[in-house]
Amino acid sequence: MLTFLRREVKYKISAEQFDVLRKEFAPHLTPDKYYFEKIHNIYYDNIYDEIIRKSMERPVFKEKLRLRTYENDGKIFDEVFVEMKNKFDGTVFKRRIKIPLADGRRLLQGESPAQILGEGQIAQEIMHFIRKTQCAPKIYISYDRYSYSGENEFRVTFDTNVVSRLVHLDFGSHADDVPQLLQGEYLIEAKSYFAFPLWFTNALTKYKIYPESFSKYGRIYERNLAAEAANPLREVSYV
């Protein structure tokens, strides 16, 4: 059982800016143990897409549920994180339960979460959320991530090469993966419970890089809606 409370701010940059910023940040940040990983996520929503639609309205409070695992050197980790992520007025509060990869796959196959997650407080919150929203696994999204850590638990990650699929909801790449976002671009996520360090904000100001509201799931959802509007006969499954 893990809990995080922190502020997260996002910035979108070009590949050229990525190379420049890594050099700027090098004296202040250390590559994480798993410096480069592929992250596999499966987000939950209901048949009406209410969770993502509400999130895109940018309310003061929003929440989401996802399954997440990691891949390093071509090998998927043997554990899955079941995560509840709440955001209130810019502050992120994340609770997650770590379970074996096999149990994560059991969840995706429709087995009862109550049988897998146990009876702890976070498990009860997840079960309440599922009952309240009538949600189920909805979309697979993965991306490449470069991760760094600094002082006072300050973290910076760079994401790129986002792909998604609406079918075959399991962990790992698949022939149905569709390139979606950040092809040749990067998304910075700066994360800290404390104020961001001055060297970081100065570097972003120097290169005229500013915060941006960016949701991978939200952007993909918008693209799917646009594709459906352009081609009403195109079959898109959200199940």
Q: pLDDT tens-digit profile of 182-205?
A: 788 999 999 998 889 999 999 999
What value does the mean pLDDT take over residues 174-186? 84
Residue 176 — very low, low, confident or very high, per pLDDT cuts 50/70/90? confident
> Among residues 224, 227, 216, which one has the least CA distance to residue 186?
216
Selected residue with higher pLDDT from 6 and 139: 139
pLDDT of 193 reads 86
Task: Report the percent of the chain where pLDDT is more than 90.
Answer: 60
Instruction: Tell whether the model's pLDDT for residue 29 goes beyond 70.
Output: yes
Mean pLDDT score across all residues of the chain: 88
Beta carbons of 192 and 153 less than 8 angstroms apart = yes
Beta carbons of 62 and 55 less than 8 angstroms apart = yes
pTM, 2 dp:
0.88
The residue count for the chain: 239
Selected residue with higher pLDDT from 144 and 6: 144
Residue 199 and residue 209: Cα distance in Å, rounded? 14
Rounded to the nearest 10 degrees, how much is the dihedral formed by the CA atoms of 44, 54, 212, 191? -50
In the chain, the amino acid numbered 52 is I
pLDDT of 146 reads 95
Q: Which of 101-110, 155-164, 169-178 has the lowest mean pLDDT?
A: 169-178
pLDDT of 231 reads 67
In which region does residue 133 sit, left (phi positive, over 0), alpha (psi from -120 to 50) or beta (all else)?
alpha
Helices then strands, counting H and E runs in the chain, come out as 7, 10
Beta carbons of 148 and 32 less than 8 angstroms apart = yes
What value does the mean pLDDT take over residues 163-172? 90
pLDDT of 234 reads 54
Instruction: Tell whether the model's pLDDT for residue 59 goes beyond 90.
Output: no
Decide: helix, strand or coil at residue 71. strand
Selected residue with higher pLDDT from 225 and 38: 38
pLDDT digits (tens, 9 = 90+) for 76-87: 999 999 999 888
